[in-house]
Amino acid sequence: MVDPIYIVAVLLGIAFSLGFLGKKSESIAGIMSLLALGFASLVSAQWFYNFVTSDIETYQIFTTAFKPPFSINLMMCRDEALFTLMINAIGLFGGFYMFDKLKKAGKNSFIALLMLIMGLNVVVMTRDLFNLFVFLEISSIAVAGLIITTQTTKSITAGFKYMIATGIISGILLLGIAFIYYYAGSLNIDVILSQNLEAAKGLSIAIFFIMIAVVLELKPFPANGWGLDVYSSAESGVSSLLSSAYATATVYVLMKLLPFAPENLQFLIADIGIFTFILSNLMCMKQDNPNRMLGYSSVSQIGLLAAVIGLSSVIGEFTYFIVISILLSNFFAKSGLFWIAGIVKQDSIKNWSILRSNKVLLVLFGIFIFALTGLPPFPGFFGKWELVMHLAETKNFIWIAGVLIGSFFEIVYMFRWLGYTVKLDMPETEKVKAKFHQILPIIIFAAAAFGAGYYVSSEHQYASLINFLPLAVAL
């Protein structure tokens, strides 16, 4: 199998080589970028397939001939393979979707895309805290570069706010890393976890700083205005990358670092998550701009995932199943909806009746709405079902109420959007037209959403019955 370090090497090498191309070589830069992203996706897919089908051991990668703490190491196991596959896939298809716009913006936009995906791959695979900080910074700078590819006042302002906010978060994270190195004597995650984290009081302060920084990266309510401005002002393809790739990486960082946190801090993370899930969905009901609405929805979904991860001591071994199920639904549906929004180009959801002029996109739009709201046979349904069942078993009824209230708000505004699209009068003079490079990724992600639902349902004990519930309701 191809060594995972080549994901980093190829993406970084191609990004560096693009700088040597001439001024009128945007097409070549775009093709080279897509080939590099395709290579990275294949490497991740190869590792994930082998972890699922074969009993292979976790693969450790060291940057020198020495082992930690004298080297920085990356790790590839089933989780890393899945998350890097998701990140590389959205990078590949997102780049394909935005090809014309990135080409128009210049080769530097392709460099920013490659650096973003490369940085997020390292964020997922690294076992070193300082390495995590460095590549989160690289990814944030790349996101800001992609935001300003759309040269408008709103996008430049949003990019500036994003840099300021992520800079403050990075400062908190770096402070925590400095403290943890002072008290633990290492930056390697596995070495730190092997120590008695409760022995040193100073270490608990360091862990608090690190966990709060990670939570802030998830854009919790109400400290998320800077993130919402990006969603509403950036190009839709960039918003899809932020909602799918960047959010996927930060969710995995939270999962990876959660063992650092004591139980009371884990419950605090869960409280912040469910608070974000409910109030972001409530705020979303007032939104009329589709991109801003999807931004609030993205924040709410990540909030729900943070709540599930924070409640891992209550949910137990099913935490991973629930997180992956909900994450996959958000990943495919949110990417598809942002991409469709970029094609429709309407600032109000009341003007989306124009989508009926393109039957293919209308069907795809409906699929993504159903997937995002957690209806079967999509993976989000099985994750939420399992979440409610386990919360009921442990008599955590307040948490169940929070999940159901947030989900109700989500269904209301998503189906209101769908209702406006299929019922309001359609202007006869305008039609929605999609280019091949725009519609192909949308079709692939819609098919993948069904595939993910089938895969997740195969792991669920009531899958055969649940799959027929929509038919029962229809009858």
For the chain, what are the domain ranges?
A: 1-219+231-259, 262-475
pLDDT tens across 397-445, in order?
A: 999 999 999 999 999 999 999 999 988 877 776 788 888 889 999 999 9
Q: Check: CB of residue 372 under 8 Å from CB of residue 414.
A: yes
Question: In which residue are the tokens 């509403």 written?
Answer: 232
Question: In which residue are the tokens 């001439």 written?
Answer: 22
For 159-188, what is the mean pLDDT?
86
For 106-125, what is the mean pLDDT?
92
Q: Check: CB of residue 353 under 8 Å from CB of residue 428.
A: no
User: Is residue 24 scored above 90 in pLDDT?
Assistant: no
CB atoms within 10 A of CB 136: 26
Sign of CA dihedral 387, 278, 336, 8: negative
Rounded CA separation 16/10 (Å): 10
What phi and psi values does residue 283 have, to the nearest 5 degrees?
-65, -30
In single-letter form, the type of residue at position 122 comes to V
Q: Please list the residues that pair with 363 across neighbouring strands.
A: none
The model's confidence at residue 55, banded by pLDDT at 50, 70 and 90, is confident
The model's confidence at residue 198, banded by pLDDT at 50, 70 and 90, is low
Closest CA to 376 of 466, 285, 254: 466
Rounded CA separation 300/220 (Å): 8
User: 23: which residues sit within 8 A by CB, 6+ positions away?
Assistant: none
Rounded CA separation 99/235 (Å): 12
Burial code (b: 16+ CB inside 10 Å, e: under 16) for 408-443 equals ebbbebbeebbebbeeeebeeeeebebeeebbebbe
Sign of CA dihedral 250, 256, 260, 263: positive
User: Is residue 381 scored above 80 in pLDDT?
Assistant: yes
The model's confidence at residue 83, banded by pLDDT at 50, 70 and 90, is very high
Rounded CA separation 378/129 (Å): 35
Residue 197's pLDDT is what? 61
Bridging pattern class, strands 73-76 and 59-62: antiparallel
Tokens matching residue 216: 């802030």
Indicate the average pLDDT of the chain. Answer: 86
Q: Check: CB of residue 142 under 8 Å from CB of residue 102.
A: no
Residue 473's pLDDT is what? 46
SS3 call for 61: strand
The model's confidence at residue 468, banded by pLDDT at 50, 70 and 90, is very low
Rounded CA separation 343/249 (Å): 27
Structural Rg of the chain based on CA atoms: 22
Residue 376's pLDDT is what? 84
Residue 471's pLDDT is what? 43
Closest CA to 391 of 469, 310, 276: 310
User: Is residue 462 scored above 80 in pLDDT?
Assistant: no
